[in-house]
Amino acid sequence: MAPYSNSKILKRTGSPSFSKRSPVLYKSGRVSARPRSRYILPPILEHSPNREARRRSAYFDPFGSAFDAGEDSDQDPDCDPEQQAERPTFLWEDEKTLVSDLLHNGDDQESEDTVKLASLAESLQTPFSHQSKELLDEIADTLVPAVNTVKRGHQILNEKVDETFALGILEFDEACKTLETATISSHNEIKKSYHASQARVRDLLKQLEEAYARRNRLCADFEKALDEIADPAIEALKALPSRAERVIETLEKNNKRIEKDAASGRGKDDKYLKELLSKLAAV
């Protein structure tokens, strides 16, 4: 597979292409390494972790002579001279990273793995090319017949359709548009009437519910008033037979008493009546 490279962007930015910058291609030997710059950065030395711990300690004296900048590595008691000789130093140049340096200085096994990966990546180019060709063929098989059909339709319209038929089609289209406009207008009117009728029906239903509520209240008030009037009448009717019996008994007693008095005092009455008649005659 060819390495990714966008020539327009690289020309604009002045950046080297991927094939000129990739450490994988450096390692596999496909691209020659860039020449080293003559400006070499100072070496980066390792430091003892014990010395760093002493520096962070509360008893560390930053002004002592034992930890001056020029005597740190020489006067460190924990630093072995043999280890100092074996410490690796990396000479990092401009635009050069640690990963790139390690890839350049790797062992043979790593180089073989890198070459193998590069060859595998290169072998993927053929399947991708075949897949791209198949997709292009499929797109062509799909679009080309449609384009040809449209072209034939336009050609037939240009050759076989007369002006009268075309004018008829245009008139029919205008009539359809007019009918569509009228239908839409009537539909809008019907829709407005429908919404108005819905609002009217809701108002009538509300009024009907209020009338039902008033009727229920009137029925309840009528039943209450009827109960208030009917209950005393019912009680009076229930007590009427006993009262009638008592009245009858009283009348019978009075009748007997009157008959008795009439039998004993009939003469007195006659005398009384004669006196009244005499007085009337005198008048």
- Output the six-digit token pair for 207: 């009024």
CA R_g for the chain: 64
- Residue 80: left if φ>0, alpha if ψ -120 to 50, beta else—which one? beta
Q: What is the pLDDT along the chain (283 residues), one digit of tens a residue?
A: 444 444 444 444 444 444 444 444 444 444 444 444 444 545 555 555 556 656 665 555 555 544 444 444 444 444 555 555 455 555 555 555 555 655 555 444 557 788 888 888 888 888 888 888 899 888 888 888 889 999 998 888 777 777 787 788 889 999 999 999 999 999 999 999 999 999 999 999 999 999 999 999 999 999 999 988 888 888 888 888 888 888 888 888 877 877 777 666 665 666 667 776 776 666 5
Instruction: Using a cut of 0.75, tell me whether the model's pTM lies above it.
Output: no
- The separation between the first and the last C-alpha atoms of the chain, rounded to the nearest angstrom, is 167
Phi, psi for 157 (deg, rounded to 5):
-65, -40
> What residues does each domain of the chain span?
7-124, 125-160, 163-247
User: How many C-beta atoms lie closer than 10 Å to residue 114's C-beta?
Assistant: 19
